């Protein structure tokens, strides 16, 4: 198990603070005695107790995940740490006090002083151990909650993707059915593009994210399908800077917006129009835009609450939370611009 030495340093400093607090309390009850010896004894006993317990717990395999040995192993570690801290710490502190000519704690106190020293050591050891145990357990539970939240988010993205793919497929099949009767040759071309698109989709990883380049490649396949059906009424431009090609994004993020542009913007327009899909960096965020020259917001579902837009909003909220935004605005020259913004990943 990898040890977090920065965390250990923090624990050690907290232990020293506890030791000084214990020594101060002792001195407050016995102000007639020097302050130095209680500080030395408290620091020596506390440091050894902390070292045995906090470092020794990593020797137990069962502590790899929770950070603490369960059951009797954990209890034995605490008892052993406190006993070792008292016996070794007292010996070391005795030597320091003799070296500097200080009063040796416990001298002349008899059994009463010994019992008091042991009681203070046990209580301080238990209190310190419980503090670190509670802190470690809280960190473990927070880590598990974060993992569960991540798995839930991934499952939700999978569900949304599973809803989007049949939606796109059914729309394409419906268009293909119409085209078979009107223009069999173009229907054949459309079927070939659809097979290539589905092969790429099924062969891709089922991860919840993929590079932005893969998103644009998949989008190009879809637009080629639509171009066969609409002919010269549809033109498109894909603008992806090379430095953003590897940026990870949720799968099937842009396609619903392109579908909306075709279905609600270009198809109702007799002469059709164009679609431009672009990506750029904007103040530490990734800005994706889908702009069409269609009929404008009149053809868009009220409030931008169509199936595709709803799915995109949910996917963004699941993946990025409040750090993402989606806007739908009218273009002055005619048409609609849908823009998505979320943080760039380093």
- What's residue 108's pLDDT? 43
**DSSP-derived secondary structure letter, 301:** P
Provide, rounded to the nearest whole percent, the portion of the chain with pLDDT above 90: 19
**DSSP-derived secondary structure letter, 295:** S
The answer to whether residues 37 and 103 touch, using CB atoms and an 8 Å cutoff, is yes
Domain boundaries in the chain? Answer: 5-146, 183-343
Quick: pLDDT tens for 39-85. 899 999 999 999 998 888 888 776 556 677 777 888 888 899 899 98
Distances (CA, A) of 140 to 9, 23, 50, 60, 258: 19, 32, 20, 17, 43
Quick: pLDDT tens for 144-203. 777 776 666 555 655 555 554 565 667 677 777 877 877 788 788 778 877 777 776 665
With left for phi above 0 and alpha for psi between -120 and 50, is residue 303 left, alpha or beta?
Answer: left
Euclidean distance between CA atoms 258 and 260, whole angstroms: 5
Task: Classify residue 314 as exposed, middle or buried by CB count within 10 Å of its CB (0-12, 13-18, 19+).
Answer: middle
Quick: pLDDT tens for 242-261. 999 999 998 778 888 998 89
Write down the pTM of the prediction: 0.52
Q: Is the per-residue pLDDT at 105 higher than 50?
A: no
Strand 273-282 and strand 234-239: the pairing is parallel
Q: Up-side HSE of residue 206: CA atoms within 13 Å toward CB?
A: 8
Q: 346: helix, coil or strand?
A: coil
- What average pLDDT does the segment 27-39 reach? 82
Euclidean distance between CA atoms 328 and 334, whole angstroms: 13
Topology given in CATH for the domain delimited by 183-343:
Heat Shock Protein 90 (3.30.565)
């Amino acid at each position: 198990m990898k040890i977090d030495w920065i965390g250990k340093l923090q624990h050690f400093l907290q232990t020293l603070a506890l030791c000084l607090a214990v020594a101060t309390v002792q001195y407050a009850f016995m102000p007639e005695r020097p302050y130095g010896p209680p500080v030395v004894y408290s620091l020596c006993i506390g440091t050894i107790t902390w070292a045995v317990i906090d470092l020794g717990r990593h020797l137990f395999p069962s502590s790899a995940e929770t950070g603490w040995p369960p059951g009797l192993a954990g209890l034995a570690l605490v008892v052993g740490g406190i006993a070792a801290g008292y016996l070794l710490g007292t010996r070391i502190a005795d030597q320091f006090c003799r070296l500097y000519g200080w009063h040796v704690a416990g001298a002349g106190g008899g059994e009463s002083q010994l019992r008091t020293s042991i009681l203070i050591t046990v209580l301080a050891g238990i209190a310190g151990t419980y503090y670190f145990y509670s802190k470690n357990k809280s960190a473990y539970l927070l880590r598990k909650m974060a993992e569960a939240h991540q798995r839930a988010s991934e499952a939700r993205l999978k569900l949304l993707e599973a809803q989007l793919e049949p939606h796109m497929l059914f729309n394409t099949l419906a268009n293909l059915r119409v085209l078979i009767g009107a223009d069999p040759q173009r229907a054949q071309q459309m079927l070939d593009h659809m097979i290539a698109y589905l092969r790429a989709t099924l062969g891709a990883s089922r991860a919840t994210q993929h590079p932005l380049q893969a998103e644009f490649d998949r989008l190009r396949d879809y637009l080629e399908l639509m171009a066969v059906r609409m002919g010269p009424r549809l033109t498109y431009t894909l603008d992806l800077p090379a430095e953003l090609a590897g940026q990870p994004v949720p799968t099937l993020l842009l396609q619903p917006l392109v579908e909306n542009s075709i279905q609600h913007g270009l198809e109702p327009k007799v002469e059709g129009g164009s679609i431009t899909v672009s990506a750029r960096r904007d103040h530490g965020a990734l800005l994706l835009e889908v702009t069409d020259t269609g009929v404008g917001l009149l053809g868009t579902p009220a409030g931008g609450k169509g199936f595709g837009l709803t799915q995109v909003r949910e996917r963004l909220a699941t993946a990025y939370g409040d750090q993402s935004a989606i806007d739908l605005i009218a273009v002055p020259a005619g048409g609609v611009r849908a823009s998505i913004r979320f943080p760039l990943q380093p």
